[in-house]
Amino acid sequence: MFLEKSGRSGWVEVICGSMFSGKTEELIRRLKRAEFANQAIEIFKPAVDIRYSKENVTSHDSRAMESTPVDSADSILLLAGDADVVGIDEAQFFDHNIVDVCQHLADSGVRVICAGLDMDYLGNPFGPMPDLMAVAEYVTKVHAICVKCGGLAQHSHRKVPGGNLVMLGEKEAYEPLCRHCFNLERTREKAEGSDNAKDKSCG
């Protein structure tokens, strides 16, 4: 499978950050640029992400590109076909096999662009994202703006209690916070004994 496309290997790009940081917009920007150059594009997202549409990768500002929802990372290999560029949105929700899948595609000459949350709402590294970032040639960390102080935000703070990491379709349940404001909120939640403070695990 090595060096199949035009005699060179591909590479892996990761776009990561908190909610409201423009990850998907950046993914779409890169894909549209490749599309303009007549490169063949395939876009995948985990079937769990049904926030807006089953067929589109949709950013919060509603720009969309057609995408294929898949149940597992392996399905991407089966469906990538002759794509020059493979985009993967919400990569944090894929099983860990997504790392091998991206490596395999890149080894085969494909440019792979993954977008995803780098941290969960508790501030822990999210799913396969740390390993994806480790093997990627290029990592772009984008930031939101902290709603408390206006600084650069890297946390997706959940404003409502609950233990389910996969809580989608409710963006009003989250707010972007910087490190300082996130720590203040977490300290307050622990003092109040809220559900968020009791969550220790990812699930």
- Which residues contribute to the site for Zn ion (CB under 5 A)? 146, 148-149, 151, 178, 181
**Nearer of residues 127 and 176 to Zn ion, judged by Cβ:** 176
* Coil vs helix vs strand at 108: coil
* Dist CA 203 CA 199 (whole Å): 9
Q: Which of 125, 151 has the CB closer to Zn ion?
A: 151
Which of 13, 26, 90, 185 is the catalytic position? 90
Least gap, CB of 149 to Zn ion (angstroms) = 3
- The reply to whether 90 belongs to the active site is yes
Contact criterion met (CB below 8 Å) for 182 and 123:
yes
| CA 52 to mean position of chain CA atoms | 16
Which of 135, 149 has the CB closer to Zn ion?
149
3-class SS shares of the chain: helix, strand, coil, % to 5: 30, 25, 45
Phi, psi angles (nearest 5°) of residue 177: -130, 150
Active site residues: 90
